Amino acid sequence: MSGVAWWSSCQSTSGRGPADESSQVERDSLLSDLAPRVTLGLTGGVAELGAVQALLLDPRRHGSIADRAAHAEAVEARYGEVETVMNELTGQPTWDDRSQGWVDDQLALATAVVLQIGTHRGAYDDARAWGDRALELGRNGSRVHRADLLLHLSELHRVTGHPERSGELVAEAVELLHLFELSADDVDALAPVTCHAFFCLGAQAYWEGRHDDARPLLAHALAHGGDSVPHLWSLVNHALVLTDDGDHEAALRFEEAAVDMAERIGDEVAIIGARNNRACTLRQLGRLGEAYDAFSELLPEILAKDVPDAVLTSCEDFACVLFDLGRDHDGALLVGAALAERAGTGVPRMAFQEAALEPSVGAGRQRLGAEWEPLLDRGAHLGVLAAVAVALRPGDD
């Protein structure tokens, strides 16, 4: 699993020298965008706006695993309220008559919605539509708030099969931040948005096969230092580059570091994602028993969360383990189930995912011959839950 959006704090452990004069002007301009504004009580004609802001921006979303779980449950329980408010808010003809502070508050709300309702809950279409419209209405918002929404929104466009649009959103965010003109101090002061931008650029370069471009961008996490979700996903994607280079041992070290960082942060979504990629690397190292055991622990957790992108990616990764173990029938059932659900949820594979799956899936397809298509059809009929249950059942296929 690679490339998940977030909202978290970056903590730097590295020393910084003074910024130069021109950089300081840019930094002051951007930092002014982050100044506190007392506008949350202004509803802009939207009933319950304040209550939904308080819900989505609850500090528990940055807390311990238990805090985050409790917050996710609260958001789920009040999803109808969130939906009503976001439809009203983004259905307004303009925000141009509002103060910049009010607009920034709505951009912050939309960013939280894109992450929590879209990326974490899997309501991709709703969250993407609200985020796109908020971006349009909030054109007079501050650069940092707009960039933050652009970067989070890019993930939903990527997941739902629009990589070109995802790249455009990232490029716009980078331009707003003047990312490559900022000093180290500026980057530190504007984190986590700047860290997110470096990650998105690096991940995009990897997905497009530009490994030489990806490495220095993803290495920002190491240079900047400290724990953050952007940093840990940079480690995970750096591991993917190393995997493609054939250095699986180094990739495993990066993934283990990412798991450790995710556990320190308390982000269960990131913990699961990093563990998934670690299991994939175990498979590529030929440690198939360990990989199978890792997925057997992971899949119940992933299925319980029921986020389509995570479920489908992990199931297909697990299918590769099954093919490598010679359990071709179980692997084909799982591939068929995943393909059917991808079609139903509008979450296609990306090119790099196709390339990663093909060696194991292709070998299984060749061994099965005429049995392949009927097994795919049967898997589609079974569905993902049943196909996983078959694969985790003791015994051979």
Whether residue 395 is predicted with pLDDT greater than 80 in this model: the reply is no
pLDDT tens by residue, 13-47:
333 333 444 445 455 566 555 544 434 445 556 76
pTM exceeds 0.85 = yes
Is the domain spanning 191-285 CATH 3.40.1190.20? The answer is no
With CA atoms as reference, report the closest residue to 174 among 207, 148, 153, 205: 148
The H or E element spanning position 339 is helix 328-345
Supply the pLDDT for residue 3.
35
With CA atoms as reference, report the closest residue to 322 among 269, 370, 262, 375: 375
pLDDT tens by residue, 212-265:
999 999 999 999 989 999 999 999 999 999 999 999 999 999 999 999 999 999
**191 within 8 A of 240, measured Cβ to Cβ:** no
**Residue 51 burial (CB count, 10 A):** 14
Whether residue 8 is predicted with pLDDT greater than 70 in this model: the reply is no
